[in-house]
Amino acid sequence: MPYIDPAQDNPPIVVVQGLFKAFGLIRAVDGIDLTVKPGTITSLLGPNGSGKTTFVRILCTLLQPDRGTAEIAGLDVVRQAAAVRSIIGLAGQNTAVDDILTGRENLIMMGRLYHLDSKEARRRAGDLLDFFGLSDAAERRVKTYSGGMRRRLDLAASMIAYPPMIFLDEPTTGLDPRSRLGLWEVIKGLVERGTTIFLTTQYLEEADRVSDTVAVLDAGRIIRQGTPQELKDCCGGDTLLWVKLANPASTNTAAHTLRTLDSEKLRVDAVTGLLHLPAREGNTTLVQVVRQLDSAGIDIADLGLRQPTLDDVFLQLTGRRAETESREQSDDGLEEGEPSGRP
Amino acid sequence: MTGSDVTVPKQKFVWVFKDTLTVAWRNVLRFRRLPRLLVFSTIQPVMLLLLFTYVFGGAVADDAAAYIQFLLPGFLIQVVVFGSSQTAVGLAEDLSGGLVDRFRSLPMSRPAFLAGRTLADTGRYLFLVALIIGIGSAIGFRFENQALPAIAAALLAVLFGFAFTWITAYIGIMSKDVETAQVAGFVWIFPVVFASSMFVPIDTMPGWLQAFARNNPVTFTVDTVRTLSLGGAIWENLWKSLASIAGILLVFVPLTVDRYRRIP
């Protein structure tokens, strides 16, 4: 695989125009235009039910769009579906490995189905097991693997043919923080070899850590596209400060007092009563806030620094939270995955 | 990197067979490792054979020794037809995980996913049929015809199982979950198996049931296997049996493959 400089102005490897797919009355993909540069990582960021999986399934030829076109390396995903399948790898939301087979058998099977000869499939299976740190578990049935190991094997399976384009649908959902970090490293390693990666995620932190470009998806539409930094800047920068007041009645006074710090981005959460504002100077901002509230005679119950999340992006871009049916689930994952602060 | 920079391998027809063998290899590995299948494929049929022979033998025929001669050829069909319900469950399991999405995103031949499964199942039927002939012989069954017809009888039973596996494959692929597949793959088999010449002579049934039993593909095949094993006129039932096998395959192979292509 030749090295491809992402900065170079290469023609896009993925071109999506006016893509539309409805299930009954639900417009899962509601007119998406998107291009992906080769050798880059693009994240599709959105809550559950925003259409991420539907979009990926169309690009991977698993689902036919109602309208619009999608091309991968110039091949139409509907008319040239068979050819598209030979240049893509997919690791879907559910790990797609056979529990009853061993890790090695799974990879050999996938290699054979990508039409590698038996020797080559075995060689690559061995290489990938090494690369993903699964050599010791290679002869064990996948049933005995941990969640992180299954994910890694699943990812290895999607790469066995070294496809130039890999789709990862929520690759780190349900993983513990350590496995998540490991997977990010692997994904970055792939791109260094020239692979193009398109991944979906619910986590702003994930999009920020791995991707060159982020597209924010809301109800089947892309509402913002840019670099991770641009996205974070639009909701207050790398670090946010939250304040819980001892007495909710003093919220307005507190907000008024703090407006001198960052008037535009200060936000009062109507549900929780928390104040959120950008902490551009990190701890220095925190100290300023404490001093200002203290001198105004307002008691603080609790406060802290945090990273912006998908919710912040949505509140900024749409005025709504990233509400989904399974909110608890995504919130759990978020807390688990995000360290409490950043250097 | 434009379209021309990415090399797209050419599709070759021979891959249909290679892919089928790869998928069959996977399923054979699963059969060997899943205890559930071991029970379904060995203990249950053997137990049923013994129960039928010794519990009903005296009532249906004069004694167990006479009944096994009648029962065993039919029982070869019974084991493959009951065994075919496992295809529905297996496919529903693959569908409920993410595995089918992965298979469908591969450049592999699409019918091969199903052909590999049914090929592996056919291997299972070959084992079942051999097992039942072995156990049957141990408890007194004897082929009364020559070796060639006896082999043909066994192979016809396996072929019939192959056809039925495509019916249950369709049921499995239409099922929303494993439980549905388990029930849907099994219930319809009972009337098809029992309302036939498999366990008792059709003459003893009420008239309306006779009408069904006499036109049941299971009856055609059981009667053919019986005459191949014990002697008698073969062709009358053989062509009906082969025609029903062809009919089942002509309907259910395209239905199942088409459904697999268009899984939502």
**High-pLDDT (> 90) share of chain A, %:** 44
Determine the residue among B102, B103, B108, B117 to mutate to test chain A binding: the one whose Cβ has the most chain A Cβ atoms within 10 Å.
B102
Q: H or E element: which one contains B241?
A: helix B235-261
Rounded to an integer, the average pLDDT of A246-255 is 84
**A14-232: CATH class:** alpha beta
The token duo for A144 is 């005995």
pLDDT band at A84 (very low <50, low <70, confident <90, very high): very high
3-class DSSP assignment, residue A220: coil
pLDDT band at A323 (very low <50, low <70, confident <90, very high): low
CB nearest B99 (choices: A10, A96, A115): A96
Condensed to tens digits (0 to 9), the pLDDT of residues A15-34 reads 999 999 999 889 999 999 99
Q: H or E element: which one contains A119?
A: helix A118-131
Rounded to an integer, the average pLDDT of B75-102 is 91
- Rounded to the nearest angstrom, the minimum Cα separation between B9 and chain A is 7
**Dihedral angle computed from the Cα positions of residues A99, A105, A109 and A115, in that order, rounded to the nearest 10 degrees:** 160
The token duo for B251 is 């309907």
Q: Which residues of B touch A90 (CB under 8 A)?
A: 101-102, 105
Instruction: Let me know if A119 is exposed, middle or buried by CB neighbors in 10 A (0-12, 13-18, 19+).
Output: exposed
* Local structure of residue B10 (DSSP, 8 states): P
Instruction: Tell how strand A165-169 and strand A26-36 pair up.
Output: unpaired
DSSP string covering B94-114: HHHSSHHHHHHHSSS-HHHHH
At residue B264, the pLDDT reads: 72
Rounded to an integer, the average pLDDT of B118-138 is 95
CB contact under 8 A, A100 and B108: no
3-class DSSP assignment, residue B66: helix
CB contact under 8 A, B6 and A164: yes
Q: What is the pTM of this model?
A: 0.82
Name the residue with higher pLDDT: B203 or A251.
B203
Rounded to an integer, the average pLDDT of A196-215 is 91
**Taking a C-beta distance cutoff of 8 angstroms, is the pair B82, B121 a contact?**
no
DSSP string covering B35-62: HHHHIIIIIHHHHHHHHIIIIIHHHHSS
Question: Per mean pLDDT, which range of A86-100, A207-221, A320-334, B152-166 is the poorest?
Answer: A320-334
CB nearest B102 (choices: A82, A92, A164): A92
CB contact under 8 A, A87 and B6: yes
Q: Which of A288, A229, A233, A302 is nearest to A265 (CA)?
A: A233
pLDDT band at A334 (very low <50, low <70, confident <90, very high): very low
Q: What phi and psi values does residue A214 have, to the nearest 5 degrees?
A: -125, 135
B204 touches A at CB < 8 Å: no
Condensed to tens digits (0 to 9), the pLDDT of residues B48-88 reads 999 999 998 888 888 888 899 999 999 999 999 999 999 99
The token duo for A249 is 């009645």
Residues 6+ apart with CB under 8 A from A59: A14, A16, A70, A72, A77, A88, A167, A198
Q: Which of A330, A311, A335 is nearest to A235 (CA)?
A: A311
CB contact under 8 A, A93 and B104: no
Rounded to an integer, the average pLDDT of A75-103 is 91
- Rounded to the nearest angstrom, the minimum Cα separation between A37 and chain B is 9
Check whether B117 has a pLDDT greater than 60: yes
> In what order do the strands lie in the sheet containing A67-72?
A26-36, A14-23, A67-72, A75-76
Determine the residue among B5, B18, B19, B106 to mutate to test chain A binding: the one whose Cβ has the most chain A Cβ atoms within 10 Å.
B106
**How many Cα atoms within 13 Å fall on the side-chain side of residue A8?**
9
Q: Where are the domains of chain A?
A: 14-232, 234-337
d(CA A141, CA B34): 12
The token duo for B75 is 């029982």
**How many Cα atoms within 13 Å fall on the side-chain side of residue B129?**
27
**Taking a C-beta distance cutoff of 8 angstroms, is the pair A137, A60 a contact?**
no
Rounded to an integer, the average pLDDT of B190-204 is 92
Give the CATH architecture of domain A234-337: 2-Layer Sandwich (3.30)
Rounded to an integer, the average pLDDT of B224-235 is 92
CB contact under 8 A, B102 and A96: yes
The residue of chain B nearest to residue A37, with distances taken between CA atoms, is: B1
d(CA B79, CA B88): 16
Check whether A253 has a pLDDT greater than 70: yes
Average pLDDT, chain A: 85
Condensed to tens digits (0 to 9), the pLDDT of residues A140-173 reads 999 999 988 998 899 899 999 999 999 999 988 8
Name the residue with higher pLDDT: A58 or B42.
A58
pLDDT band at B99 (very low <50, low <70, confident <90, very high): confident
SS3 content of chain A, % helix, strand, coil (to 5): 40, 25, 40
At residue B185, the pLDDT reads: 87
Alpha carbon A291 to chain centroid, angstroms: 37
At residue A127, the pLDDT reads: 93
At residue A331, the pLDDT reads: 35
d(CA A251, CA A66): 49
CB nearest A73 (choices: B6, B11, B103): B6
Rounded to an integer, the average pLDDT of A210-220 is 92
Condensed to tens digits (0 to 9), the pLDDT of residues A265-306 reads 788 887 788 888 888 888 888 888 888 888 888 888 898 888
CB contact under 8 A, B102 and A157: yes
**Taking a C-beta distance cutoff of 8 angstroms, is the pair A12, A32 a contact?**
no
- Rounded to the nearest angstrom, the minimum Cα separation between B167 and chain A is 24
Q: Where are the domains of chain B?
A: 35-261
The token duo for B66 is 């006479």
CB contact under 8 A, B1 and A38: yes
**How many Cα atoms within 13 Å fall on the side-chain side of residue A169?**
23
B25 touches A at CB < 8 Å: yes
At residue A317, the pLDDT reads: 79
Check whether B6 has a pLDDT greater than 90: no
